[in-house]
Structure 1
């Protein structure tokens, strides 16, 4: 073999090995950025997410073990890419569920007060949600940043590279079972977050029902609807402290569950 051909073949092998050592971890990192709350919203352009993935990859990837050479066009590489995307998406999706639980609680309150008609497009995901749900989602985002949730996710990502190395081992199916049980637990937490306001509104609606039975001539629809909306605003205001406390507990337990998922 000519020296030029030998040099070209050696350089090509080194280039493929270098691309593989960066490509697979970047799939896990970028999928986490796309699934995590706030940073994965439509407000963050693809260029920003790509730059964040590359910056985080430059910090994490050099400390990872060397990956064995794999044919980029082989079925094994396709399975490894799907594995890395799945691991990163699960890490980011767990915190995304807390935001959806807060939105779910806000929708419960909106339906009880008649404020569900006051809806707007949420800038985070481009979905139309009631104003109360939008307020709860914004408060959840502030609480997430206050509790350093983004740092918790980055730490969980680094831990995942230690527990589930790139191109080594299989994707543990128990993670999916844990995630399913976690989903039900988080949405139960969303109900608990909205429970004080929903209970108060239920009592108000029950009072209007008693009034309509005691005085049938009383036009409860024309009077009760604006009173319910006004009471809804007051109840949302006075239950904000309870909401933030429950939300903090929910986020803290989610951080613990995230660390327990990657073991």
Structure 2
């Protein structure tokens, strides 16, 4: 006969992996079928389950209410971990939106069919470029490894959601804005110089319609600066991916 205690342990492992994948950036695209997300999370749970401590089932609460709270706890922990990764990675998208606002592309915002939200052109380009680079350097393996280690750092039904968790999430959220500003700062500085130059030109030659001529000039200057900085983006992305890993383990340790 099957050991129902082990089945209950496996279900909790599966819930944390599923919540992590649902909230994380790897399978967060709208075009990914839900069955694929569930199947991938099930495969992760099957891989992680054999390395759990043998006495894991004994640490689970007894009764329906206790197990229901454990289900909520594991789902919440998986969502928090996935949200932390998504917030840091979305700093690239925020940097692109800042650039688009200064260039003028924000007026041509489109609805991204993958995420179902409005994204500007440069923001979507930088975000997809970051995802491709992340896959090329095996960043997804690092993410899966962090998920597997989460079962050792935070055992099943051991997560605690107190004020320290909120403080860590607030720091991650604030850090994402800082990263976005740092990434977009060189292009914003060049565009600011272009605005000042156009302003001086409007004062010296009032007959020139700077408002109309400024749009193509700012677009050309912004895209040219972006193309020159693309080769240096790899170093920036590596540091951002290191920040993702650091924030994940910090969030796990405050759960205890």
Deviation at 1:165, TM superposition (A): 1.0
State the alpha-carbon separation in 1 of the partners of residues 105 and 189 from structure 2. Answer: 16
Q: 1:72-117 deviations in whole A, cap 9, x for unaligned?
A: 632x222211210121122222221133111111111111111113
Q: 1:188 aligns with which of 169, 174, 178?
A: 178
- Aligned structure 1 segments of 4 or more residues deviating by more than 4 angstroms: 69-72
2:37 aligns with 49
The range that moved more, 26-35 or 150-159, is 150-159
- SS at 2:221's partner residue? helix
Q: 1:177 aligns with which of 162, 167, 180?
A: 167
1:30 aligns with 18
2:207 aligns with 217
Structure of larger gyration radius: 1
Deviation at 1:170, TM superposition (A): 4.1
- SS at 2:119's partner residue? strand
Q: For the aligned residues, what is the CA RMSD?
A: 2.0
Q: 1:98 to 1:70 in 2, by over 3 A?
A: closer
User: TM-score if structure 2 supplies the norm length?
Assistant: 0.89
Deviation at 1:124, TM superposition (A): 3.5
Q: 1:151 to 1:139 in 2, by over 3 A?
A: same
- SS at 1:38's partner residue? coil
Kept in 1: contact 2:99–2:184 (CA 8 A): yes
The count of residues paired between Structure 1 and Structure 2 equals: 249
State the alpha-carbon separation in 1 of the partners of residues 114 and 160 from structure 2. Answer: 30
- SS at 1:177's partner residue? helix
Deviation at 1:15, TM superposition (A): 5.4
State the alpha-carbon separation in 1 of the partners of residues 72 and 147 from structure 2. Answer: 16
Kept in 2: contact 1:113–1:201 (CA 8 A): yes
State the alpha-carbon separation in 2 of the partners of residues 179 and 70 from structure 1. Answer: 28
2:89 aligns with 99
State the alpha-carbon separation in 1 of the partners of residues 247 and 211 from structure 2. Answer: 46
Deviation at 1:152, TM superposition (A): 1.6
What are the residue-to-residue correspondences of 1:54-73 with 2, within 5 Å? 54-65=42-53, 66-68=56-58, 70=61, 73=64
Q: 1:26-55 deviations in whole A, cap 9, x for unaligned?
A: 110100111111322212211101111111
